[in-house]
A = this chain, B = another copy of it.
Amino acid sequence: MISSLELARHCGISQGTVDRALHNRPGVSPKTREKILRAAKQLGYRPHPAAREILTGQSTTVGAILPTVNNVFFMDVFNRLGHWFSEQGLRLHFTPVENRLAFLEVLEEFASRRYRLAVVIPPEDNIPVPQNLASALRIVSLISPCRGKGVDFLSPDEAETGRDAVRYLHGQGHRRILHLTYDRPAYAIAARAAGYKAQCREMGLASKVLSFVDADRLAETLRSFRPTALFCHNDWMALRVQLILAAQGMRVPEDISILGVDDSPTLMAVHPGLTTLAYPVEKAVAAIGDVLAGRTATIAGERYQLVERTSVRKWV
């Protein structure tokens, strides 16, 4: 591949003039500019971004990290982010990662490339981020927090999410609400379950959390707890549960109601009837914009928004 110096030589002029022409800067005669641009196109000249980055010390790339598993909704979030960044003239470079080691390695890579920002969903909670990494690279984490100074955690109050779920289902007349979730130790999982329990208690409802869901355990819990509504940790879980219920001959929402969380667009394409609490993506995007602009940001006061479809019915 040809360099700007070679391009200059090819045209029989200096590199400086070539540079001015390529960047539409004044100080080049129309004739020369024309000649240069034609030659550039013909020879397939492409500026090498790495050289610019060395010179300016700044890259125009934003790094993203997301876990390799259960990544449907996370992909949706990052697609939205990528769209927004490209409007800002930034590129989103994203890397899936499966454990804390790879997570930190990729973060190191982003730092050494002088990326403008890293937006990450850590593969597990509270990965300790070394001080020198966080001071070299601006890091924003979503969904799960990191440990260590200098990493911004952008998350709604997830206990409130659990409470909102109970409030909504209670408002629909449900009195026996089962919470289905995962058994991993993660902020959102623990906080939503805690909010769910607290709200049930305050409303005088029985509560029960099933944190490892398979067909047998679900069937058994359905028999013993007799819930009329299922509050699932996320849409993905809701989908899984719906398939299990279907195999057992139960109808949704006739026999039982299901509430998800996230409002993942990808999942909605396959399961359009799911009533869910939508993650405030736009607020998160705006907050990340603030961080980019050097302002402090938070979405701690934001709520998941209810999107009513057909998987929850009034219980009378």
Contacts and interface: CB of A to CB of B under 8 A. Distances in A.
Given A46-B111, A93-B95, A240 B270 contact: yes
Nearest to A270: B240
Nearest to A80: B68
Given A50-B53, A243-B246, A79 B75 contact: no
Interface in A91-126: 91-96, 98, 102, 108-109, 111-114
A246 B133 CA distance: 50
Contact of A113 (B49, B79, B135): B49
Contact of A50 (B93, B113, B249): B113
Could you say how many copies of this chain the assembly holds? 2
29 contacts: A1-B114, A44-B133, A46-B108, A46-B111, A48-B54, A48-B114, A49-B112, A50-B113, A50-B114, A54-B54, A70-B266, A72-B266, A79-B96, A79-B98, A91-B95, A91-B109, A92-B95, A93-B94, A94-B94, A94-B96, A239-B239, A242-B243, A242-B246, A243-B246, A243-B270, A246-B246, A247-B251, A247-B273, A249-B251
Nearest to A105: B86
A135 B48 contact: no
A50 B54 contact: yes
Contacts of A92: 95
A68 B51 CA distance: 30
A15 to B, nearest CB: 15
